[in-house]
A and B are shown apart, each in its own frame.
Chain A
Amino acid sequence: LRCDNLRHRLLLYAEGELNDASRRQVAAHLTTCERCRSAVESFQDLTRTIRALRDEAAMAPEELTFARTVRRRASAPRRSGFSDLLGRLGSWVEDVAEPLLEQPVQALLPFGLVLWLASASVVSRFGLEGIVAKLTAALLL
Protein backbone atom coordinates (compact mmCIF):
# COMPACT_ATOMS: atom_id res chain seq x y z
CA LEU A 1 0.00 0.00 0.00
CA ARG A 2 1.20 3.50 -0.81
CA CYS A 3 0.73 6.38 1.60
CA ASP A 4 -1.13 8.43 -1.04
CA ASN A 5 -3.79 5.74 -1.38
CA LEU A 6 -4.27 5.63 2.37
CA ARG A 7 -4.83 9.28 3.13
CA HIS A 8 -8.58 9.17 3.74
CA ARG A 9 -8.47 5.75 5.37
CA LEU A 10 -6.10 6.95 8.10
CA LEU A 11 -8.83 9.01 9.73
CA LEU A 12 -11.33 6.15 9.49
CA TYR A 13 -8.70 3.86 11.04
CA ALA A 14 -8.04 6.37 13.84
CA GLU A 15 -11.79 6.51 14.55
CA GLY A 16 -12.24 2.72 14.44
CA GLU A 17 -14.58 2.96 11.43
CA LEU A 18 -12.85 0.54 9.04
CA ASN A 19 -14.01 -3.00 8.39
CA ASP A 20 -11.71 -5.85 9.47
CA ALA A 21 -9.98 -6.36 6.13
CA SER A 22 -9.26 -2.68 5.64
CA ARG A 23 -8.17 -2.25 9.24
CA ARG A 24 -5.66 -5.10 8.93
CA GLN A 25 -4.26 -3.59 5.71
CA VAL A 26 -3.78 -0.19 7.30
CA ALA A 27 -2.33 -1.69 10.49
CA ALA A 28 0.23 -3.62 8.43
CA HIS A 29 1.21 -0.43 6.63
CA LEU A 30 1.56 1.46 9.89
CA THR A 31 4.15 -1.00 11.20
CA THR A 32 6.50 0.12 8.43
CA CYS A 33 5.52 3.79 7.92
CA GLU A 34 6.43 6.28 10.60
CA ARG A 35 4.75 9.17 8.77
CA CYS A 36 1.32 7.52 8.56
CA ARG A 37 1.62 6.26 12.14
CA SER A 38 2.25 9.81 13.22
CA ALA A 39 -0.76 11.03 11.21
CA VAL A 40 -3.02 8.46 12.91
CA GLU A 41 -1.72 9.51 16.32
CA SER A 42 -2.36 13.17 15.56
CA PHE A 43 -5.95 12.43 14.44
CA GLN A 44 -6.56 10.47 17.65
CA ASP A 45 -5.11 13.23 19.81
CA LEU A 46 -7.16 15.85 17.98
CA THR A 47 -10.37 13.85 18.45
CA ARG A 48 -9.69 13.50 22.19
CA THR A 49 -9.06 17.25 22.41
CA ILE A 50 -12.27 18.15 20.59
CA ARG A 51 -14.32 15.72 22.71
CA ALA A 52 -13.31 17.71 25.79
CA LEU A 53 -15.65 20.44 24.51
CA ARG A 54 -18.61 18.16 25.28
CA ASP A 55 -18.43 19.32 28.87
CA GLU A 56 -19.37 22.86 27.80
CA ALA A 57 -22.96 21.61 27.74
CA ALA A 58 -22.73 22.25 31.48
CA MET A 59 -22.63 25.98 30.72
CA ALA A 60 -26.19 25.83 29.34
CA PRO A 61 -28.84 27.81 31.24
CA GLU A 62 -30.43 26.17 34.23
CA GLU A 63 -33.05 23.62 33.15
CA LEU A 64 -36.07 25.23 34.76
CA THR A 65 -35.30 28.67 33.32
CA PHE A 66 -34.80 27.21 29.87
CA ALA A 67 -37.98 25.10 29.97
CA ARG A 68 -40.05 28.09 31.16
CA THR A 69 -38.76 30.30 28.35
CA VAL A 70 -39.45 27.64 25.74
CA ARG A 71 -42.95 27.03 27.13
CA ARG A 72 -43.71 30.78 27.12
CA ARG A 73 -42.47 31.21 23.55
CA ALA A 74 -44.18 28.05 22.31
CA SER A 75 -47.54 28.96 23.77
CA ALA A 76 -47.44 32.60 22.60
CA PRO A 77 -50.06 33.24 19.90
CA ARG A 78 -48.62 32.76 16.45
CA ARG A 79 -48.60 35.64 14.08
CA SER A 80 -51.14 35.48 11.29
CA GLY A 81 -49.97 34.41 7.85
CA PHE A 82 -50.12 37.98 6.54
CA SER A 83 -48.19 39.58 9.41
CA ASP A 84 -45.68 36.75 9.28
CA LEU A 85 -45.22 37.46 5.57
CA LEU A 86 -44.75 41.17 6.28
CA GLY A 87 -42.22 40.32 9.01
CA ARG A 88 -40.24 38.11 6.63
CA LEU A 89 -40.38 40.77 3.94
CA GLY A 90 -39.14 43.40 6.41
CA SER A 91 -36.31 41.19 7.54
CA TRP A 92 -35.34 40.47 3.93
CA VAL A 93 -35.33 44.18 3.05
CA GLU A 94 -33.27 44.85 6.17
CA ASP A 95 -30.76 42.14 5.24
CA VAL A 96 -30.38 43.53 1.73
CA ALA A 97 -30.41 47.22 2.63
CA GLU A 98 -28.14 47.20 5.67
CA PRO A 99 -24.91 46.21 3.92
CA LEU A 100 -25.71 48.69 1.12
CA LEU A 101 -26.25 51.55 3.52
CA GLU A 102 -22.91 50.88 5.11
CA GLN A 103 -21.06 51.37 1.82
CA PRO A 104 -19.42 54.72 1.03
CA VAL A 105 -21.45 56.88 -1.37
CA GLN A 106 -18.99 56.34 -4.26
CA ALA A 107 -19.55 52.58 -4.05
CA LEU A 108 -23.29 53.10 -4.43
CA LEU A 109 -22.99 55.23 -7.58
CA PRO A 110 -22.82 52.30 -10.04
CA PHE A 111 -25.76 50.69 -8.22
CA GLY A 112 -27.76 53.91 -8.51
CA LEU A 113 -26.87 54.27 -12.18
CA VAL A 114 -28.06 50.74 -12.96
CA LEU A 115 -31.28 51.36 -11.02
CA TRP A 116 -31.88 54.65 -12.86
CA LEU A 117 -31.28 53.07 -16.29
CA ALA A 118 -33.55 50.13 -15.45
CA SER A 119 -36.34 52.48 -14.26
CA ALA A 120 -35.95 54.69 -17.34
CA SER A 121 -36.21 51.70 -19.62
CA VAL A 122 -39.36 50.42 -17.85
CA VAL A 123 -40.93 53.90 -18.02
CA SER A 124 -40.24 54.29 -21.73
CA ARG A 125 -41.27 50.68 -22.56
CA PHE A 126 -44.72 51.07 -20.96
CA GLY A 127 -45.21 54.76 -21.82
CA LEU A 128 -45.37 55.85 -18.19
CA GLU A 129 -43.71 59.25 -18.73
CA GLY A 130 -46.95 61.14 -18.00
CA ILE A 131 -47.54 59.37 -14.69
CA VAL A 132 -43.91 59.84 -13.61
CA ALA A 133 -44.09 63.56 -14.44
CA LYS A 134 -47.32 63.95 -12.41
CA LEU A 135 -45.87 62.04 -9.46
CA THR A 136 -42.66 64.08 -9.54
CA ALA A 137 -44.64 67.32 -9.65
CA ALA A 138 -46.82 66.15 -6.75
CA LEU A 139 -43.77 65.29 -4.68
CA LEU A 140 -41.96 68.52 -5.43
CA LEU A 141 -44.88 70.90 -5.00
Chain B
Amino acid sequence: MGRPPDWNWGQLGFLNQAAFEEMVATYYRRVWNIALQMTGDADDADDVAQEAFVRVYRSIGRFRRESQFSTWLYRITMNLCTDLLRRRRRRATISLDQLEAESHNTYWDSVAAGHPAGTHNPSGSPVRELEAAELRVKLKEAILSLPDSYRSVIVLRDIEGLSYREIASVLRCPEGTVMSRLFYAKKALRDKLQPYIKGQ
Protein backbone atom coordinates (compact mmCIF):
# COMPACT_ATOMS: atom_id res chain seq x y z
CA MET B 1 0.00 0.00 0.00
CA GLY B 2 1.72 3.21 -1.16
CA ARG B 3 1.33 6.50 0.60
CA PRO B 4 -1.52 8.69 -0.59
CA PRO B 5 -0.72 12.06 -2.15
CA ASP B 6 -1.17 14.96 0.21
CA TRP B 7 -4.55 16.59 0.10
CA ASN B 8 -5.45 19.36 -2.32
CA TRP B 9 -5.74 22.47 -0.18
CA GLY B 10 -8.08 24.36 -2.40
CA GLN B 11 -10.67 21.61 -2.20
CA LEU B 12 -10.34 21.06 1.51
CA GLY B 13 -10.43 24.75 2.31
CA PHE B 14 -13.70 24.95 0.40
CA LEU B 15 -14.96 22.08 2.53
CA ASN B 16 -17.70 20.82 0.29
CA GLN B 17 -19.20 17.48 1.21
CA ALA B 18 -17.65 15.57 -1.69
CA ALA B 19 -14.15 16.90 -0.94
CA PHE B 20 -14.45 15.97 2.72
CA GLU B 21 -15.63 12.47 1.88
CA GLU B 22 -12.81 12.00 -0.59
CA MET B 23 -10.32 13.04 2.06
CA VAL B 24 -11.85 10.60 4.58
CA ALA B 25 -11.73 7.81 1.99
CA THR B 26 -8.07 8.58 1.25
CA TYR B 27 -6.85 8.53 4.82
CA TYR B 28 -9.23 6.68 7.10
CA ARG B 29 -7.67 3.22 6.90
CA ARG B 30 -4.24 4.65 7.70
CA VAL B 31 -5.53 6.73 10.58
CA TRP B 32 -7.47 3.72 11.87
CA ASN B 33 -4.39 1.46 11.69
CA ILE B 34 -2.24 4.03 13.50
CA ALA B 35 -4.87 4.18 16.25
CA LEU B 36 -5.10 0.38 16.33
CA GLN B 37 -1.36 -0.10 16.75
CA MET B 38 -1.19 2.66 19.36
CA THR B 39 -4.14 1.47 21.46
CA GLY B 40 -4.19 -2.27 20.69
CA ASP B 41 -7.98 -2.24 20.60
CA ALA B 42 -10.22 -2.16 17.54
CA ASP B 43 -13.09 -0.32 19.29
CA ASP B 44 -10.73 2.35 20.57
CA ALA B 45 -9.27 2.63 17.07
CA ASP B 46 -12.80 3.27 15.72
CA ASP B 47 -13.39 6.02 18.27
CA VAL B 48 -10.02 7.70 17.75
CA ALA B 49 -10.25 7.59 13.95
CA GLN B 50 -13.80 9.03 13.94
CA GLU B 51 -12.89 11.76 16.40
CA ALA B 52 -9.78 12.67 14.37
CA PHE B 53 -11.85 13.32 11.24
CA VAL B 54 -14.56 15.14 13.18
CA ARG B 55 -11.88 17.47 14.54
CA VAL B 56 -10.47 18.03 11.07
CA TYR B 57 -13.94 18.90 9.81
CA ARG B 58 -14.56 21.35 12.62
CA SER B 59 -11.17 23.00 12.78
CA ILE B 60 -10.01 23.09 9.18
CA GLY B 61 -10.25 26.88 9.39
CA ARG B 62 -7.56 26.95 12.06
CA PHE B 63 -5.16 24.80 10.05
CA ARG B 64 -1.91 26.61 9.22
CA ARG B 65 -0.84 25.53 5.80
CA GLU B 66 2.88 25.69 6.41
CA SER B 67 2.84 21.97 7.23
CA GLN B 68 1.37 19.16 5.18
CA PHE B 69 -2.23 18.17 5.73
CA SER B 70 -1.27 14.57 6.48
CA THR B 71 1.16 15.77 9.18
CA TRP B 72 -1.64 17.73 10.83
CA LEU B 73 -4.06 14.80 10.60
CA TYR B 74 -1.51 12.38 12.07
CA ARG B 75 -0.72 14.85 14.85
CA ILE B 76 -4.40 15.04 15.80
CA THR B 77 -4.58 11.24 15.72
CA MET B 78 -1.48 10.77 17.87
CA ASN B 79 -2.71 13.34 20.40
CA LEU B 80 -6.05 11.56 20.66
CA CYS B 81 -4.26 8.23 21.14
CA THR B 82 -2.05 9.72 23.84
CA ASP B 83 -5.07 11.17 25.66
CA LEU B 84 -6.87 7.85 25.49
CA LEU B 85 -3.85 5.92 26.76
CA ARG B 86 -3.43 8.39 29.63
CA ARG B 87 -7.07 7.97 30.64
CA ARG B 88 -6.74 4.22 30.32
CA ARG B 89 -3.66 4.16 32.55
CA ARG B 90 -5.48 6.17 35.21
CA ARG B 91 -8.18 3.56 35.25
CA ALA B 92 -5.80 0.62 34.93
CA THR B 93 -5.72 0.13 38.70
CA ILE B 94 -9.44 -0.58 38.57
CA SER B 95 -9.52 -3.33 36.03
CA LEU B 96 -6.15 -4.43 34.81
CA ASP B 97 -7.16 -8.07 34.84
CA GLN B 98 -10.40 -7.32 33.06
CA LEU B 99 -8.60 -5.31 30.38
CA GLU B 100 -6.16 -8.11 29.70
CA ALA B 101 -8.93 -10.66 29.47
CA GLU B 102 -10.93 -8.45 27.10
CA SER B 103 -8.04 -7.72 24.80
CA HIS B 104 -7.16 -11.38 24.62
CA ASN B 105 -10.73 -12.42 23.97
CA THR B 106 -11.33 -9.90 21.24
CA TYR B 107 -8.37 -8.43 19.51
CA TRP B 108 -5.64 -11.02 19.98
CA ASP B 109 -7.94 -13.89 19.12
CA SER B 110 -9.09 -12.19 15.96
CA VAL B 111 -5.51 -11.47 14.99
CA ALA B 112 -4.31 -15.00 15.61
CA ALA B 113 -7.35 -16.75 14.20
CA GLY B 114 -8.25 -14.78 11.13
CA HIS B 115 -5.84 -12.41 9.49
CA PRO B 116 -7.18 -9.54 7.46
CA ALA B 117 -7.27 -9.90 3.71
CA GLY B 118 -3.86 -10.23 2.15
CA THR B 119 -2.06 -11.52 5.23
CA HIS B 120 -2.72 -15.16 4.67
CA ASN B 121 0.55 -17.05 4.34
CA PRO B 122 0.78 -18.08 0.69
CA SER B 123 3.22 -20.89 1.47
CA GLY B 124 0.22 -22.81 2.76
CA SER B 125 2.18 -24.73 5.38
CA PRO B 126 0.08 -25.01 8.56
CA VAL B 127 3.23 -24.92 10.72
CA ARG B 128 4.47 -21.76 9.01
CA GLU B 129 1.04 -20.17 9.36
CA LEU B 130 1.00 -20.96 13.04
CA GLU B 131 4.49 -19.51 13.47
CA ALA B 132 3.55 -16.37 11.56
CA ALA B 133 0.40 -15.94 13.66
CA GLU B 134 2.38 -16.46 16.85
CA LEU B 135 5.04 -13.96 15.79
CA ARG B 136 2.33 -11.41 14.95
CA VAL B 137 0.77 -11.75 18.38
CA LYS B 138 4.16 -11.55 20.12
CA LEU B 139 5.14 -8.52 18.03
CA LYS B 140 1.93 -6.70 18.88
CA GLU B 141 2.33 -7.47 22.55
CA ALA B 142 5.91 -6.20 22.41
CA ILE B 143 4.88 -2.98 20.63
CA LEU B 144 2.11 -2.34 23.14
CA SER B 145 4.50 -2.85 26.03
CA LEU B 146 6.74 0.00 24.81
CA PRO B 147 6.44 3.48 26.35
CA ASP B 148 4.07 5.70 24.32
CA SER B 149 6.92 7.84 22.97
CA TYR B 150 8.72 4.78 21.58
CA ARG B 151 5.54 3.20 20.21
CA SER B 152 4.67 6.43 18.38
CA VAL B 153 7.90 6.43 16.39
CA ILE B 154 7.64 2.73 15.55
CA VAL B 155 4.07 3.15 14.30
CA LEU B 156 4.78 6.30 12.30
CA ARG B 157 8.02 5.00 10.83
CA ASP B 158 7.44 1.33 10.06
CA ILE B 159 3.69 1.10 9.74
CA GLU B 160 2.90 4.49 8.25
CA GLY B 161 6.26 4.83 6.44
CA LEU B 162 6.96 8.46 7.37
CA SER B 163 10.45 9.96 7.09
CA TYR B 164 12.33 11.03 10.21
CA ARG B 165 11.60 14.66 9.35
CA GLU B 166 7.86 14.01 9.01
CA ILE B 167 7.78 12.11 12.30
CA ALA B 168 9.60 14.99 13.99
CA SER B 169 6.97 17.35 12.61
CA VAL B 170 4.03 15.18 13.74
CA LEU B 171 5.43 14.70 17.24
CA ARG B 172 6.87 18.24 17.46
CA CYS B 173 10.33 17.11 18.50
CA PRO B 174 13.83 17.29 16.95
CA GLU B 175 14.84 14.73 14.32
CA GLY B 176 17.67 13.57 16.58
CA THR B 177 15.11 12.66 19.23
CA VAL B 178 13.15 10.64 16.67
CA MET B 179 16.30 8.72 15.67
CA SER B 180 17.26 8.08 19.25
CA ARG B 181 13.76 6.90 20.24
CA LEU B 182 13.60 4.67 17.19
CA PHE B 183 16.93 3.10 18.04
CA TYR B 184 15.97 2.31 21.62
CA ALA B 185 12.49 1.18 20.60
CA LYS B 186 13.89 -1.25 18.04
CA LYS B 187 16.52 -2.47 20.43
CA ALA B 188 13.81 -3.18 23.01
CA LEU B 189 11.65 -4.97 20.42
CA ARG B 190 14.61 -6.98 19.18
CA ASP B 191 15.34 -8.12 22.74
CA LYS B 192 11.72 -9.05 23.39
CA LEU B 193 11.43 -10.97 20.11
CA GLN B 194 14.85 -12.58 20.30
CA PRO B 195 13.78 -16.13 19.42
CA TYR B 196 11.91 -14.95 16.32
CA ILE B 197 14.31 -12.44 14.78
CA LYS B 198 17.20 -13.34 12.48
CA GLY B 199 20.77 -12.18 12.97
CA GLN B 200 21.09 -12.13 16.75
On chain B, the residues within 8 Å of A134 by CB distance are none
A42 lies within 8 A of B25 (CB): no
B183 lies within 8 A of A11 (CB): yes
A98 lies within 8 A of B159 (CB): no
Q: How large is the interface on A (under 10, 10 to 19, 20 to 34, 35 or more residues)?
A: 35 or more
Tell me, yes or no, whether B116 is within 8 Å of chain A by CB.
Answer: yes
A12 lies within 8 A of B93 (CB): no
On chain A, the residues within 8 Å of B189 by CB distance are 46, 50
Tell me, yes or no, whether B62 is within 8 Å of chain A by CB.
Answer: no
CB distance from A63 to the nearest CB of B (A): 6
On chain A, the residues within 8 Å of B182 by CB distance are 11
B199 lies within 8 A of A42 (CB): yes
Question: How many B residues face the partner with a CB closer than 8 A?
Answer: 58
Q: Which B residues from 75 to 124 make CB contacts under 8 A with A?
A: 87, 90-91, 93-94, 110-111, 115-119
Nearest chain A residue, comparing its CB with the CB of B34? A57
On chain A, the residues within 8 Å of B140 by CB distance are 53
The answer to whether A8 and B197 touch (CB under 8 A), given A53-B139, A53-B140, A59-B36, is no
On chain A, the residues within 8 Å of B94 by CB distance are 98-99, 102
Residues 36-62 of chain A, each 1 if its beta carbon lies under 8 Å from chain B, else 0: 011111111111011111111111110
CB distance from A35 to the nearest CB of B (A): 10
A39 to B194, CA, bound (A): 12
Residues of B within 8 A of A (CB): 1, 17, 20-21, 24-25, 28-30, 32-33, 36-37, 42, 45-46, 49-51, 53-54, 57-58, 87, 90-91, 93-94, 110-111, 115-119, 135-136, 139-140, 143, 154, 158-159, 161, 164, 179-180, 182-183, 186, 189-190, 193, 196-200
